[in-house]
Structure 1
Amino acid sequence: MYRNYLKVAWRNLLKNKGYSVINIGGLALGMAVALIIGLWINDELSHNDYFSKKERIAQVFQSQTLNGETSTGPAIPRPLEMGLREGYADNFKHLVMSSWNNAVYLNYKEKSLSRRGNFMQEEAPELLGLNILKGEKNGLRKINSIMLSESVAHALFGDEDPIGKVVKANSQYDMEVTAVYEDIPVNNSFNDLEYIMPWEKYLSLFEWIKNAEDQWGNNSFQMFVQIADNTSMEKVTETIKDVKKDLNEETAEFNPQLFLLPMKDWYLRNNFENGKQSGGRIKYVWLFGIIGAFVLLLACINFMNLSTARSEKRAKEVGIRKSIGSQRKQLIYQFLSESFLVVLFAYGWAVLIVLLSLNAFNDLARKEIEFPWDNPVFWGTSLLFVLFTSLLAGSYPALYLSSFRPVDVLKGTMVTGKYAGLPRKILVVLQFTVSVAFIIGTVIVMQQINHAKNRPVGYDKEGLVQIPVMSRDFDGKYDLLRNEFLASGAVVEMSGSSSPTTEIWSNRGGYNWEGKPEGFQEDLAWTEVTPEYAKSLNLKIVKGRDFSREFASDSNAVLINETAMKYMGLTDPIGKFITDDDIEDPFPPLKIIGVVQDMITQSPYEPVKQGIYAYDKHGNTSFYNLRLNPDQSANENISTIERVFKEHFPDIPFQYDFVDSEYGEKFAAEERIGTLSAVFTALAILISCLGLFGLTSFVAEQRQKEIGVRKVLGASTFNVWNMLSKDFLKLVLISCFIAIPISYYVMNGWLQEYPYRVILEWWIFLLAVVGALAITILTVSFQAIKAANKNPVKSLRTE
């Protein structure tokens, strides 16, 4: 029986090649989009799956309230470690203090590399469950030990056994390789953990870290934990939430609340608003999941529309089958079999489309997704996917066609009725409602990105280069290097800073100034800079003056930005002093000598943060900022800079970043989402147009005799085109009126997440309407004009 169903289905496909191509092609595109989005979603949801203890690992976060606003982040004070170990140890299986991920220079013989990693406590390898390939699992016991990832070990030692070898870190201290661990895959939070060095080494390197042992206000560290087997994240959070407040009265005014953020939430749910978890990348998972479902639905609608539109041609077949004894359920099985065959062919083409486009998609989405050939779960899911799509696409045609009465069909008295085409019209409206909504959403996403891109940055990022300063070899050489870089002709100005131009690395409080409101809890971005900082960035001084080496008193001077001036309530800040509340380690009063223009150092979608630029008198430079000579090519300038650099640091890799590229990375996530949305929108429109093309073709074929009569009676090509097009244009207009309010509501809600956002303009929606109508006209016109130009004699001669 089923063999007969499939044979009939195959013959119908061959008999109607044009409709078969449209059906299979549309379904294949829809299924390919659903497949590739499914692979992307799986990759997102499987983030951190490499870690077998994922459900028990967490990072300690804290929320603090300043002036009624609560901020949340993973930075914690060093004394918290002992507070948790001494009073709450039963809640944890492992507790690990860690530095932030940072780059160091690693030297072995003639080889020199720059790699990223962390200083971590001894339990880190056990907590993370690292796969140790060589050496000892407890490789951080000795203060001068280092654990390397497999790729770093190979890059440094080649085929040599790395265990016991000594590498020099930052040209400063010797570290013995005690273990090599498997590279952590890209799709994981610790994928850039290319080395691990002992926490005790970190404490020995920097005086400020030693001094932070009892500084509860110094939130400069990270803490990772694995909770005990007999408890849960919620219970531990409830237990430790007030620890910092209970152990230290000085920070109690900020109402610090500790909590555990599980590893499973680090990637997808790491956004917080006013101390509450507010999502994250999970919104994109939902977004693309909905897009994939709708694109597949559009393809299924095409199948439904074309199948029901051709119902009259199948009516006699249904009548004959019923008259010789076929039951309705047998006819339903037959039509579902046809649907299954079409979907199966479409799925094969969809897999081919995915294979051909996967590399391009990975480049676009910055992923390393591979097609899961050897995954039985994928193929089982694919089978369910094919069956589900077959039912979705074939259920309505099967129920509709099997409902015909054989007597009416065979007598030729079957009348389709006034509302017979209503379901098809509803489906067309649904198709274009989705397509128009996609168009509006994509335009608004792109407009929001461009809105932020066009925001004044506050400094000149073009031709500005950053060189990281990570080694003691740089100590005391700033002035020498600056003079040589300037003398080389490749650089017109150079400065040093404690933070990169595009980030804030330090925030401080505890300051007083004239006119400070009682009880005001300040939070100021703090950057130490050399006197040439503003000149190297072309940063405008809007009040007062810049730093000058000619004034010795400038070593206790600061610049503030415009936002800080407003934040501090200073109308005339020049000459005012900022003092320090820290009784144990106070600094001399800082004199405000100038106000600089606001510059974007964090997210371009957020307001500029209030900031202080202090004179760097302790050599805290972490980056050199070089303004390239605009009269020479960038390549020529970089080559010259590298030559000068290598003369002084032959054993250190020459690293640099263009600031405009670093700034551009801030838009990368939104741009990828916008580009992917545009691609999927284009495919959705293409699928809708395929269905419209097939439907128009069928209507033109169905009405060919009417068109012939009209032509004989003098109708022009325009008259025929208008007759065939107007109904479809009406449906698309209805779609637009439905899509516009839905799109406005959804996109307006999305924009509320951005403090600096675009305003929704009426022309965006008009553009979508005009675009949808233009696409419809182009799609329909081909078949309409073709039918209008057909010789009426050929249409009428069968009569």
Structure 2
Amino acid sequence: MIKNYLKVAWRNLIKNKAHTIINITGLSVGMAVAMLIGLWIWDELSYDKYFQNHDRIVQVWQHQTFNGKVGSQIAMPIPLGTMLGKDYHSDFKYVVLSSWNYDHILAYGDKKITMQGSYMQADAPDMLSLKMLKGTRRALKDPSSIMLSDKVAKAIFGNDDPMDKTIKLDNKQLVKVTGVYEDLPHNTSFNELSVILPWDLYLSSQQWVKQAQTQWGNNSFQIFAQLNQNVTIDKVDARIKKLKAINIAAQGDNVGASFKPVVFLHPMDKWHLYSEFKDGINTGGAIQFVWMFGIIGVFVLLLACINFMNLSTARSEKRAKEVGIRKTVGSLRSQLIVQFFSESLMVVVFAFLFSIVIVLLILPWFNQVADKTMTILWASPVFWIIGIGFSLITGLISGSYPAFYLSSFQPVKVLKGTFKAGRFAAIPRKVLVVLQFTVSVTLIIGTIIVFRQVQHTKNRPVGYERTGLVQMGMKSDGIHKNFAAVRNDLLQSGTIIEMAESGSPLTDVYSNNSGLKWRGKAPDLQDDFGTIRLTPEFGKVAQWKILDGRDFSREFISDSSAMILNESAAKFMNFKHPVGEIIDWGKKFTVIGVVKDMVMSSPYEPVKPSIFVLDNGIGNLVDIRLNPKVSTREALAKIEAAFKKYDPGSPFDYRFTDEEYARKFANEERVGKLAGFFTLLAIFISCMGLFGMASFMAEQRIKEIGVRKVLGASIFSLWRLMSVDFIILVSISLLIAIPTAYYFMYGWLQGYKYRADLSWWIFVGTGIGTIIITILTVSYQSIKAALMNPVNSLKTE
């Protein structure tokens, strides 16, 4: 019996090829979108779940109040971590001080590579439950040790055993490999932790770090911890929240105390999805994208299901006579119900299998755009339960109308030709078409606004010329010691315009300072300035715009006590003519110039008040302005040769400033690309449904069209007759979608201080475009029906 049901179902699908192709294609595309989004959401929700104790691991944060506004940050002082580890054993199993993750040069024989790593205290491997491939988790006990990830060990040593081999670190120290751990997954907060170095090595090799051990106001480090089993975050927060405030005041740091620091713990399970704070309250973060894509996935899948149900119910009305004949020859209603369900389920199963093929083809591109390393969860029961369960539910719902409604027909009425579907039979289908295009139009408008916001911010004046700028991080002091010689060689070669050293790149501000004093400063005013230490050539490299005064110069010995302000700093200090003013910052600085604001941090935020001071002792960053008359390839080759001449032990690593700036938009661009991709598929699915419905309507009204042609109707009038209903439905969709999209996108834009306007042309253009797409989709079937020979359409059956 089952074999017969399947055979009849297959014959019906083959008989109506166009209908079957539209159904399977639309449904499989919708399923593929839902599957991709499902994999993405799964990856996001499982972030950091790789770590065995993820539910007990926390990071220590602090709230600070600045002129009435509360800000939250992860940068912390060393003494706080030391105190938590010594005095709070009942709360913490581990407390781990850590540096930031940055590049290190690893040299072994002739091999030299640059990999990212952190200095961490010895309990870090246990806290992170690292899976050791060589050695043990106690490998950081030795101050001259190093732990490598598997990929780094293979990159340096190949298939040789790396244990106990000696590596030269940053062209300075020799360290011994004491452990190799499994590469951390991409969806972890430590995915770029390729090298782990002992904290004691950090203390012994960096004088400023050693000094920071007693400085409660030096927020330059990270603190991670693992809670004991019987404690809660809220209880620990209550015990530690005043620790920094009490100790920084006791140390006599009145400026630090004025920020009213409040210490709190942020759990690992919230690091990725709930990382944003506003006025001391967690406001979410990446979780908004999880919700957004989840909703998009549901709606795109809903569009596909609407198509399937629409076409299934529409086509089912043509099978009324089939039902009548089947009942006449003895078919039971239950048999008809099973038959209709089997046809529906067969379509859904084919669509599900085809959707897996689509996902396999698209997944590599999707991973690249989404910055993921996802794979189909073949071994996961959840994947198959959801996939098969959804197929069954979709098949049952879409097959329910023909199964229960058509199987209830009385054979006498159907075979006499007196059966009619009813006046309101088409209303559900029209409602579903309106819903389809409402969703599609909303997605179109949302995608356009996301791209417009990214482009608007990209076009924001940055205050300096990004093109032709190269920045290099120095891990050794070879270039710094020979800075004058390297600069002179490159200038004489004509390769560069200028070269400088700085403490921060033009795309970020690494240091902030407070406690400055100036004429007219209000006693209760809190200050916090971005601080960029540099050599005198920096201004020429950046080609910044001097608004008042002059640039730094090696010709003026007094510039060692000079300071340049940006516009925001001059306004914050309430100076109309800052040049010549004295700034007290431990020693007296004279303001010699004001430069136009440069966007060095977030392009979405106002420029922070910043100060620029000379420091010829820095050497961690080199900034170079290339000569535009020399090809980039030739210039980089000459720069590499010069760097190798004076610092042969370091790899030549460089980054273009414009590319680094572009990375600031990576998240928004990624969201825009993914939303755009899903929107195109949503439009495709909607148009397929529209095409199928138009085909059905044309077929249903074939005799009416024939009669109208015989009576003299023109092709245009027949096209209008067939198209106007769909245009009305889509117009209704626009009336619903446009205010809906405006409401949600207006709210989204409020999250950006520097944002694009919601221009009227976005909504009008989308509406016109949607109408045009509708007309083009429907016109094929309309014109085809209008051109048909009335002789053929008026023949009796």
TM-score by length of 2: 0.97
| C-alpha deviation, 1:331, in angstroms | 4.4
Contact 2:562 2:613 in 1 (8 A): yes
1:653 aligns with one of 651, 667, 681: 651
AA aligned opposite 2:652 = F
Contact 2:59 2:265 in 1 (8 A): yes
Structure 1 residues 65, 339: closer, same or farther in 2, change over 3 A?
Answer: same
AA aligned opposite 2:414 = V
AA aligned opposite 2:131 = N
| 1:716 and 2:714 correspond | yes
| C-alpha deviation, 1:457, in angstroms | 1.2
| C-alpha deviation, 1:550, in angstroms | 1.1
Contact 1:172 1:472 in 2 (8 A): no
User: Which structure 2 residues correspond to residues 534-549 of structure 1 after superposition, within 5 A?
Assistant: 534-549=539-554
Report the Cα distance in structure 1 between the residues aligned to 2:433 and 2:402, rounded to whole angstroms.
Answer: 15
| 1:363 and 2:380 correspond | no
The two structures, once aligned, show a CA RMSD in angstroms of 1.7
Partner of 1:734: 732
Structure 1: state its 5+ residue gaps.
581-586
| 1:518 and 2:516 correspond | no
Contact 2:306 2:432 in 1 (8 A): yes
SS at structure 2 position matched to 1:531: coil
| C-alpha deviation, 1:330, in angstroms | 5.5
| C-alpha deviation, 1:225, in angstroms | 0.4
| C-alpha deviation, 1:397, in angstroms | 4.7
Report the Cα distance in structure 2 between the residues aligned to 1:664 and 1:144, rounded to whole angstroms.
Answer: 38
Partner of 2:230: 230
AA aligned opposite 1:69 = K
Partner of 2:607: 608
AA aligned opposite 1:352 = V
Contact 2:217 2:248 in 1 (8 A): no
Contact 2:57 2:225 in 1 (8 A): yes
Report the Cα distance in structure 1 between the residues aligned to 2:373 and 2:195, rounded to whole angstroms.
Answer: 22
2:746 aligns with one of 721, 728, 748: 748
Report the Cα distance in structure 2 between the residues aligned to 1:651 and 1:663, rounded to whole angstroms.
Answer: 29
SS at structure 1 position matched to 2:223: strand
Structure 1 residues 391, 74: closer, same or farther in 2, change over 3 A?
Answer: farther
Partner of 2:262: 257
| C-alpha deviation, 1:395, in angstroms | 3.7
Report the Cα distance in structure 2 between the residues aligned to 1:648 and 1:794, rounded to whole angstroms.
Answer: 89
AA aligned opposite 1:557 = A
| 1:269 and 2:274 correspond | yes
Report the Cα distance in structure 1 between the residues aligned to 2:603 and 2:90, rounded to whole angstroms.
Answer: 43
User: Which structure 2 residues correspond to residues 607-626 of structure 1 after superposition, within 5 A?
Assistant: 607-617=606-616, 619-626=617-624
| 1:123 and 2:128 correspond | no
SS at structure 2 position matched to 1:184: coil
SS at structure 2 position matched to 1:159: coil
SS at structure 2 position matched to 1:248: helix
Structure 1 residues 593, 329: closer, same or farther in 2, change over 3 A?
Answer: farther
User: Which structure 2 residues correspond to residues 452-463 of structure 1 after superposition, within 5 A?
Assistant: 452-463=457-468
Alpha-carbon deviations, 1:737-761, whole Å to 9, x = none?
A: 0001110111111111111101101
Alpha-carbon deviations, 1:363-420, whole Å to 9, x = none?
A: 2222211222333332222212222332343344544434545443333222333322
SS at structure 2 position matched to 1:632: coil
SS at structure 2 position matched to 1:89: coil
1:553 aligns with one of 550, 554, 558: 558
User: Which structure 2 residues correspond to residues 154-165 of structure 1 after superposition, within 5 A?
Assistant: 154-165=154-165
Partner of 2:418: 413
Report the Cα distance in structure 1 between the residues aligned to 2:451 and 2:524, rounded to whole angstroms.
Answer: 43
Contact 1:60 1:261 in 2 (8 A): yes
Partner of 1:696: 694
Contact 1:529 1:621 in 2 (8 A): no
Structure 1 residues 479, 396: closer, same or farther in 2, change over 3 A?
Answer: farther
Contact 1:717 1:789 in 2 (8 A): yes
Contact 1:492 1:628 in 2 (8 A): yes
AA aligned opposite 1:418 = R
| C-alpha deviation, 1:510, in angstroms | 1.1
Contact 1:303 1:394 in 2 (8 A): no
| C-alpha deviation, 1:245, in angstroms | 2.0
Contact 2:495 2:630 in 1 (8 A): yes
Contact 2:96 2:121 in 1 (8 A): yes
Contact 2:216 2:247 in 1 (8 A): no
Partner of 2:587: 588
Report the Cα distance in structure 2 between the residues aligned to 1:700 and 1:725, rounded to whole angstroms.
Answer: 10
SS at structure 1 position matched to 2:171: coil
Structure 2: state its 5+ residue gaps.
none
| C-alpha deviation, 1:303, in angstroms | 1.1
Report the Cα distance in structure 2 between the residues aligned to 1:639 and 1:138, rounded to whole angstroms.
Answer: 44
| C-alpha deviation, 1:535, in angstroms | 0.8
Structure 1 residues 408, 263: closer, same or farther in 2, change over 3 A?
Answer: same
Report the Cα distance in structure 2 between the residues aligned to 1:274 and 1:391, rounded to whole angstroms.
Answer: 50
Partner of 1:583: none
Report the Cα distance in structure 1 between the residues aligned to 2:173 and 2:191, rounded to whole angstroms.
Answer: 25
Report the Cα distance in structure 1 between the residues aligned to 2:419 and 2:401, rounded to whole angstroms.
Answer: 19
| 1:76 and 2:73 correspond | no
User: Which structure 2 residues correspond to residues 496-507 of structure 1 after superposition, within 5 A?
Assistant: 496-507=501-512
Partner of 2:669: 671
Alpha-carbon deviations, 1:529-584, whole Å to 9, x = none?
A: 1111111011111111111111111001111111111122111111112213xxxx
Partner of 2:183: 183
| C-alpha deviation, 1:423, in angstroms | 0.7
**Bigger shift: residues 677-686 or 395-404:** 395-404
Report the Cα distance in structure 2 between the residues aligned to 1:406 and 1:622, rounded to whole angstroms.
Answer: 88
Partner of 2:109: 109
Contact 2:499 2:622 in 1 (8 A): yes
| 1:304 and 2:302 correspond | no
**Bigger shift: residues 675-684 or 384-393:** 384-393
Structure 1 residues 185, 557: closer, same or farther in 2, change over 3 A?
Answer: same
Contact 2:479 2:486 in 1 (8 A): no
Structure 1 residues 328, 754: closer, same or farther in 2, change over 3 A?
Answer: farther
Contact 2:85 2:94 in 1 (8 A): no
Report the Cα distance in structure 2 between the residues aligned to 1:148 and 1:340, rounded to whole angstroms.
Answer: 52
Structure 1 residues 391, 286: closer, same or farther in 2, change over 3 A?
Answer: farther
TM-score by length of 1: 0.96
AA aligned opposite 1:635 = R
Report the Cα distance in structure 2 between the residues aligned to 1:5 and 1:260, rounded to whole angstroms.
Answer: 62
| 1:571 and 2:569 correspond | no
AA aligned opposite 2:553 = S
1:532 aligns with one of 537, 548, 559: 537
| 1:490 and 2:489 correspond | no
Partner of 2:444: 439
Structure 1 residues 284, 403: closer, same or farther in 2, change over 3 A?
Answer: farther
| C-alpha deviation, 1:326, in angstroms | 6.2
Give aligned pairs, total: 792
Report the Cα distance in structure 1 between the residues aligned to 2:643 and 2:384, rounded to whole angstroms.
Answer: 55
Report the Cα distance in structure 2 between the residues aligned to 1:229 and 1:792, rounded to whole angstroms.
Answer: 82
Contact 1:542 1:597 in 2 (8 A): yes
Report the Cα distance in structure 1 between the residues aligned to 2:120 and 2:17, rounded to whole angstroms.
Answer: 65
| C-alpha deviation, 1:2, in angstroms | 4.4
Structure 1 residues 402, 280: closer, same or farther in 2, change over 3 A?
Answer: farther
Structure 1 residues 395, 546: closer, same or farther in 2, change over 3 A?
Answer: farther
User: Which structure 2 residues correspond to residues 130-145 of structure 1 after superposition, within 5 A?
Assistant: 130-145=130-145
| C-alpha deviation, 1:627, in angstroms | 0.5
Contact 1:528 1:621 in 2 (8 A): no
AA aligned opposite 1:40 = W
Report the Cα distance in structure 1 between the residues aligned to 2:573 and 2:70, rounded to whole angstroms.
Answer: 19
SS at structure 2 position matched to 1:677: helix
AA aligned opposite 2:587 = P
Alpha-carbon deviations, 1:713-759, whole Å to 9, x = none?
A: 11111011000000000000000000011101111111111111011
**Bigger shift: residues 160-169 or 321-330:** 321-330
Alpha-carbon deviations, 1:573-601, whole Å to 9, x = none?
A: 11112213xxxxxx311111111111111
2:356 aligns with one of 339, 343, 351: 351
Structure 1 residues 436, 620: closer, same or farther in 2, change over 3 A?
Answer: same
Structure 1 residues 655, 241: closer, same or farther in 2, change over 3 A?
Answer: same
Contact 2:479 2:646 in 1 (8 A): no
Partner of 2:205: 205
1:632 aligns with one of 620, 630, 633: 630
| C-alpha deviation, 1:325, in angstroms | 7.0
